[in-house]
Amino acid sequence: MVSKEVLVKNGTGLHARPATLLVKKASSFKSDVSIEFNGKKANVKSLIGVLSLAITKDSLINVIANGDDEALAAEEIAKLIQNLED
């Protein structure tokens, strides 16, 4: 299991468009990928799950990957979140 803390810089947080990009990216990995925020956890391969966390700008979240390609999955998902534009 690999875990990475990430600061959400996107002005609107993880709303529909960036959440969709995350789900697509996460679905390309074999590993299970999830996000923890405010004591809640969601599967990043589920759009509804990601949106249900209501992650806003300047939120500190934890990306967790577990599986065959966990290191790459955690790194790529964290990088995508950090580089999201409004």
**CATH number of residue 51's parent domain:** 3.30.1340.10
Question: Domain limits at 63?
Answer: 2-82
pLDDT digits over 46-85, tens only? 999 999 999 999 999 999 999 999 999 999 999 999 998 7
Q: Number of folded domains in the chain?
A: 1
pLDDT of residue 14: 94
Tokens 């990043």 found at: 44
Query: Binning pLDDT at 50, 70 and 90, where does residue 86 land?
Result: low
State how beta strands 2-7 and 60-66 pair: antiparallel
Integer Cα distance of 36 and 31 in angstroms: 16
Tokens 């934890």 found at: 62
pLDDT at 24 over 70: yes
pLDDT digits over 31-43, tens only? 999 999 999 999 9
- Give the predicted TM-score (pTM) of the model: 0.93
The catalytic residue positions are: 15
